Amino acid sequence: MPKQYLTYVLETRRLECLPSSTETTFYPDLKVLLNAVLKSERLPFDVNTGTSESGARRRDMPDFVLSDSSLFWALRQREPAATSLADLAASTEQNEQIGRYLSQTGVVILCKVRGIGLLSCEFMREAGKPVQPKRRILEKTVDVWSAVIGSGAKQKVDPSAVEDLISIVTRAVTDLARIGSPADLAKILARQARDAKAAMPDDLKPVKPLLDDYRRALGLAFDIDDEKGARFFRSSLVQSIFYALFAAWILWDKEAGVDTTLRSRTPINTCRSHFLMHCFTISAIQRG
C-alpha cells in the first residue's frame, strides 16, 4: 500500500504541472490508489468512473463509484488550489451537487488531488432534497501529498497518512454506506468484530467476572493467564457480544415505533439472558 501511495503522489504532482491536465487526467491514478486500499483491506468493491463505466448513462453522475451493486458513491472534484476540503464539503455549487449526492447515499469521498476527505451527514435525511451544509459532517481528512517526505530515491511515506486514507475508505464503504444486501452486513460486522478484538486491553482482569458466567451459562472455561487461552477468550467475548447485539436489535425492532431510536442501553434493557446482560454491563462500564 505505501508503494501505491507514493506512486500516486509522484504522478499527480507531475500531472498538476502540465498545462494540458484536466480533471479526468487524474482519474487513472486515483482509481489505482482506491483499488489498492480496497485490496489491502480485502474489501470486495469495484472502483468505476461514473462517467464511462458500469454502463453509466444517467445525468449528474459522480466522478467515481465504489460499488458492489452500487453500494456507495464517491465524488472527486478538482477545484482551484485555494479551495480547501472544508470549503468543498460546504459547497452548494452546481445546483447543490454535493448536497444531492449526500441525500442519495449519506456519504461522499471528496478529493482535491492532493487531499482526500470523508463527508457524511446527519442520519435523518429527506429523499430528493439536498443535504444543507449545516447538516454535513467532514469526518476525516488526509493531506496525501504532504505525507511524502525526502527526495529522490529516499522519499518515504508517513505510515499514519496511509492509515488515515485506509480509515476514510474503509469507514465509507462499511460504517456509513447503506447496506445493500445481507452479505454487505456480514462484511461490516466482521470488520467491526476484528477492530473490537484488536481494541481489547492486554490486561483482561477487569472482565474476569465473565469467566464464571461463561462457565455457568455455556460450560466454557478459559485460562486468561495463558496466551492461547486469553486469545480464545477475546474472540469468544467479541463473538458473544456481537451476536447478542444483533439479537437485541431484532427483538427491539419487533416492538419499536417508526420514530424510535436504538440507544446504547437498549441491548441491556432488551436482553433476556443474565449472561449476556452481564457482558453488556461490564463492556459498558469498561467503555465509559
Any idea where the domains of the chain sit in the sequence? 2-176, 200-287
Distance CA 282, CA 276 (A): 10
Q: Up-side HSE of residue 17: CA atoms within 13 Å toward CB? A: 5
Beta bridge partner(s), residue 175: none
Helix (H) or strand (E) holding 112: none
Decide: pTM greater than 0.95: no
- CB-hemisphere CA count at 13 Å for 283? 22
Closest alpha carbon to 78 in 118, 108, 51, 113: 113
Could you give the C-alpha distances from 192 to 22, 72, 96, 206, 247, in angstroms and in order? 39, 19, 33, 22, 16
CA distance 252 to 247: 9
Q: CB neighbours (10 Å) of residue 235?
A: 13
The cell numbers describing 150, all together, are 525526502
Three-class DSSP labels, 131-161: CCHHHEEEEEEEECHHHEECCHHHCEECHHH
Distance CA 200, CA 154 (A): 37
Q: What is residue 31's three-state secondary structure?
A: helix
Contact between residue 166 and residue 41 where contact means Cβ atoms under 8 Å apart:
yes
Whether the CB-CB separation of 177 and 74 falls below 8 Å is answered with no
- Asked: is 2-176 a CATH 3.30.110 domain? The reply is no
* H/E run at residue 30: helix 27-40
Residues 4, 32 contacting (CB under 8 angstroms): yes
- Alpha-carbon gap, residue 5 to 30, rounded angstroms: 10
**Structural element, H or E, at residue 10:** helix 2-16
Q: Give me the tens of pLDDT residue by residue for the chain, a chain 288 residues long.
A: 789 999 999 999 999 899 998 888 888 898 899 989 988 887 767 787 755 444 444 445 556 666 543 334 444 445 555 578 898 899 998 888 889 888 887 888 888 888 999 998 887 777 789 999 999 999 999 999 999 988 887 889 999 999 999 999 888 887 776 666 677 677 777 777 887 888 788 888 877 777 887 888 778 888 888 888 888 888 888 888 777 777 777 777 777 665 666 555 555 455 555 555 555 554 544 444
